[in-house]
Amino acid sequence: MTILHYHPIASERSSGKLLSEDTPLFKDMFFGEDFYRGWTEREEMRINVYETDEQWEYFVELPGVKESDLKVSFEEGHIKVSGERRFEESSEKIAKYHLREIGDGYFERWLHVHEGANMEGISASLKSGLLKITIPKLETSKTKLIEVKCVD
């Protein structure tokens, strides 16, 4: 008895049915489970973090999120950004989506807080879908330049 290795994509490709509407691969790629998932499973929040001598700044993309649907908290050495993005559908009942790339639903992301952060002075603001979190540094953690003396 011969054991054959079955490779579903190779067999579909050789028969010319790789992207035929009748193949499960086509349906999974375009209208499968991923098509119906919420925001957190489809994409991550994009974030920029940078540091100055005085503070750390986090910029988080949150398009379509209202301030009332957003929560920023500090827990166990991390900042937790969570909330819900909701889209108001048209008043007419949607019979069938043809394409749905804009995710909605609950989201959550944990951000590392650097050592030497002054959590008492933390602030956050939301403007045009961009969340800005500012964390000042403790006085002791600021960079101090040390003068180097030349000894000849």
Give domain status of residue 68, yes or no.
yes
Angstrom distance (rounded) from CA 84 to CA 86: 6
Residue 50 lies in a domain: yes
Tell me, yes or no, whether 107 and 132 share the same domain: yes
Confidence of residue 103 (pLDDT cuts 50, 70, 90): confident
pLDDT at 36 (0 to 100): 46
Is 50 in contact with 56 (CB distance < 8 Å)?
Answer: yes
For residue 86, the model assigns a pLDDT of 83
The residue whose two tokens read 């879908």 is 129
Residue 23 contacts residue 40 (beta carbons within 8 Å) = no
d(C-alpha 61, C-alpha 79), whole Å: 15
Domain that holds residue 29: 7-36
Note whether residue 105 is domain-resident.
yes
Average pLDDT for 30-38? 49
The better pLDDT of the pair 19, 107 is held by 107
Residue 115 sits in the same domain as residue 73: yes
- Predicted TM-score (pTM) of the model is 0.62
Tell me if 11 is assigned to some domain: yes
Of the listed ranges 19-33, 97-111, 128-142, the least confidently predicted one is 19-33
Same structural domain for residues 68 and 27?
A: no
Look at the chain and report how many structural domains it folds into.
2
Look at residue 105 in the predicted model and tell me its pLDDT.
87
With DSSP H G I counted as helix, E B as strand and the rest as coil, what are the percentages for the chain, rounded to 5?
20, 30, 45
107 in a domain, yes or no?
Answer: yes
Examine the domain organization and report whether 44 and 32 are in the same domain.
Answer: no
Instruction: Report d(CA 50, CA 57) in Å as an integer.
Output: 5
Q: Please tell me the distance from the alpha carbon of residue 70 to that of residue 27, in angstroms, as a whole number.
A: 35
Structure tokens that stand for 97 in this block? 């989506």
Is there a domain that residue 22 lies in?
A: yes
Strand partners, 126: 131
The CATH number linked to 66 is 2.60.40.790
Q: Does residue 121 sit in the same domain as residue 55?
A: yes
**77 and 58: one domain?**
yes
